[in-house]
Structure 1
Amino acid sequence: MRPLPLALALLIAPLASALAETCSTSTLVSPTYAFARWCGEPPAEGTLRLGRRDGRQLDYASVPLSIFREVVRAPHVDRYVRTEIQPRFAAPAAPRGQAAPPG
């Protein structure tokens, strides 16, 4: 038996889960956007992914969780993305097979 590795694992497990990335996804009521997903380690900033109804996905880096919450609550998601997200947050280059973000 190896009690030391087991004891060490039991001590490390809560630390690892405390540092685990959190993701939250919501369906959007919008003619352009189908969903919003935020992943990060609160309270730090994370990545906001917006899934478009045409299949493309747009990622925005260094987005606070509060912005994700605003996207979900916004009555006009398209306008909110155009006026609040696109000007403030950098969208990385589009991966292969996806178009670059409109802008």
Structure 2
Amino acid sequence: MCPVRLTPDHVNLGSYQQSVDGAIAKLDADRIVQRIWEADHTVWNHDPTEIIDRLGWLTLPDTMRPQLRNIQRFASEVAADGIQHVVLLGMGGSSLG
């Protein structure tokens, strides 16, 4: 489950409010947020083949925490070498087909 406690924001959605409230109620009733944190592939598809390997972002903070010193050391080395600009290019799973 998400370890961060979020505080609700309030917005006035005018004529969309009822639709949004209904959608949020359905998400809540179907436990969608909890199921995503549980890596439940059935939120998206009953076949886990394409979904299960795309949920790594859920555990990324815990996975990367032990690498923090290495990342910080690398950043310091890059800065010391005079590199000032970096271009990061990437493609997410959904763009790969």
| TM-score above 0.5 | no
Q: Mark the structure with the bigger radius of gyration.
A: 2
* TM-score of the two chains, using structure 2 as the length reference: 0.25
Q: What TM-score do you get using the length of structure 1 for normalisation?
A: 0.24
Bigger proportion of residues as strand: 1
